Chains A and B, each alone.
Chain A
């Protein structure tokens, strides 16, 4: 019995080292990211008065951009979304909707709302895709093209869009997202300004739930009512304001959200386009772009800019949240596994030495470590394998630190963009930043753990998140809605 006890004690000690190192590495890096992001985002907000957006708007130097909107069974929102997209404030804009074989009335609603007429185009496939079968143009809207194709998934729909795209840059935009009118201009201005070729750039994604949308534009920003949505507001602020800003500064931007991102078309084609090898095609493409640049000895920039805003609906039920987080986690694991040779590889500079190892240890494996910690450590105390007096303080430290990081993100938002005008919303955000760690964090951790298990089981299923927001039912009329 004593031998078993000794064995368990040693195992526990090893696990403790793993948990503590996870805690130190994770929180240490996040604290570093918070510090540098605070400086960067604050400076960026101070520099906003001299961004010269009006000059950019009239400039002949802004390159043309095609917004590619992949749509699958989006009949409830597609018309309103497209109306908003067509109003995007950008000098040379093309818009392409790729209907990925919807089984609902997505195409029919587009046809009746925009007076689409079927045309025949020559389809030149620079990237292999399923057949693009039907093409539609609206005589009154010369910069709009609608394509219908066999259902092949989001990556395939995006590749069809890339094949048909005739502009040097394209922007991927989810059909359920709402762009700030000048978001694309801000993002492109950063690209044009950079002395290094920018091949991918993303803006900030914010939660639409709770906001008022008028004619496809967010007119009033407010917190959603449901706690599950409010927690996600905190999460998104933390992820985008200091997670991605920090990685961008370190030159290791790994995630550029496909919900709103601009890519250089030719580079993406040369790198092979979007792939369906993983369930997070945006993440996988970014890693592949880094690989392509290293293999071709090209100096490229993949960036994140904190002021162009894209609003998106977040899951408002646990069921949908579970689907979303499982997919994200599974996609991260798939991408890291697929590119495991890049981890700790000097050839990939900051990404190989810092970004990928961190994401592997803290974001991918961390889900399992943290969740197991919640079970194994109490068991150890229960069986007197560890001093019980330490468990509660350690747990308190971990949760307090997590609360500190989330509070930092909210403070950063309050110091810089101040998108939540109501003081009540702001204080609520601070409150949710703290209580997020008492329940919600553990639930999300569980879903992420499920994602890891799905990856280990070899699942490649794409779990679809259905949004049931207040925009449901829009039929193309100008409307004012509160996304609930």
Chain B
């Protein structure tokens, strides 16, 4: 009997069964959709008082938290959720407690079916953690810390985010400990970045709790902990341009650790990440450590160090930064140009002198890395590119007339050699058109340097 012969009875029966299942599927999908539309219409019309129990909670939840509240709305919303008893319900959900009433009412609710299936109860726990985080419910932090060890990674993830939003300092050590276990691979349910994203939201004063991680023998742990502090400092600096890490906001012992240990760490990635933090430390010692990092043997340490110096208070280091304009790594050269542009008068002076200079070779730096003064066409091109990106060429062009004729001619010829001819023409056209209507803004540094010239 061939294969074909064997199939002559089973095939029609199987076809019929599949056709029936398909029809049932389609009918069920349409019916469900109709039912859902009807329910939504009813909810629109329904008075809230007609709904009770967990269904009411769910509806209130949807009404209040459909969109993430704005920061100024959070206190009111939190109060409202507490008054309505929602926070208690969410806390119970997060604990995994199921009240008798909730069990009884489950079949009548849309989510009821889900709640009866044990493996799916994580959805309720995760939603509860999310809601507590949205209203920044500080008293719930111990519950959220407990949820960091929830069996389901989604709940761990939401609880981590919620703790990052609530920013209760007492929760910081627990998150720091999670970071350590994720880095060391003793726990793999979440990414390191997820925990770091939560940690960097905490106040800078919490950084002391990272200290054990900064002294950890594993370089990756030290690296991640250093990076957390870096991001915390950068967050503060974004809000306050004059921000500095000082005893008022940062523990002296931590600052000392950065200056004496992390800046000299055996792992280059740690040194690289420490550089920006050291640059925020008040006091003269930070400059010395950064100076050493500028001559580091690893290129990305030099890169991070030179980027860290892009603050006006390091203007006095402009000439040291200028040496990196001829670094062997193009990213370092590029970062050095960017930093000099931000170092105002001294930085611009170095940059312009380097770019428009006569190309005399200079001495090697103290650490033997590169030459201190070697303007070549390639590095000039890079400087020109960065000046163009920073929008400096229009200002330079505008001030050519204020310069000595010879200097102006030299500058233009350098720019053309660096391939900026067409762009300069376009800039000059634009400036001519713009000059008639409004003044052109010029960075302070370039203005002063141009006038000195």
Contact = CB atoms under 8 A, between A and B. Distances in A.
B385 A50 contact: no
A387 B14 contact: no
Interface in B79-135: 114, 120, 123, 126-127, 129-130, 133
B385 A120 contact: yes
A106 B188 CA distance: 48
A407 B426 contact: no
B182 interface: yes
B255 interface: no
A417 to B, nearest CB: 13
B7 A390 contact: yes
B33 A426 contact: yes
B29 A400 contact: no
B191 A387 contact: no
A335 B58 CA distance: 50
Contacts of B252: none
Interface string A39-53: 000010011011010
B68 A54 contact: yes
Contact of B130 (A50, A61, A122, A410): A50
Contacts of A397: 11-12, 14-15, 18
Contacts of A17: 3
A16 B3 contact: yes
B8 A389 contact: yes
B4 interface: yes
B59 interface: no
A320 interface: no
A120 B28 CA distance: 62
The bracket for how many chain A residues form the interface is: 35 or more
A17 B2 CA distance: 10
Interface in A392-420: 393-394, 396-397, 400-401, 403-404, 407-408, 410-411, 414-415, 418
Nearest to A194: B191
Interface string A90-125: 000000000000000000000000000111111010
B317 interface: no
Given A50-B130, A387-B8, A393 B15 contact: yes
B235 A60 contact: yes
Interface in A408-444: 408, 410-411, 414-415, 418, 423, 426-427, 430, 434
Nearest to A198: B191
Given A52-B161, A117-B423, A60 B197 contact: yes
B127 A61 contact: no
B197 A396 contact: no
B158 A50 contact: yes
B26 interface: yes
A456 interface: no
Contacts of A427: 30
Contacts of B361: none
A423 B3 contact: no
A367 to B, nearest CB: 22
Given A122-B385, A386-B4, A414-B33, 15 more contacts: A16-B4, A47-B123, A50-B126, A50-B127, A50-B129, A60-B235, A61-B194, A122-B381, A122-B382, A193-B191, A194-B191, A397-B12, A401-B18, A408-B25, A418-B33
Interface of A: 13, 16-17, 20, 43, 46-47, 49-50, 52, 54-55, 59-61, 117-122, 124, 137, 139, 192-195, 386-387, 389-390, 393-394, 396-397, 400-401, 403-404, 407-408, 410-411, 414-415, 418, 423, 426-427, 430, 434
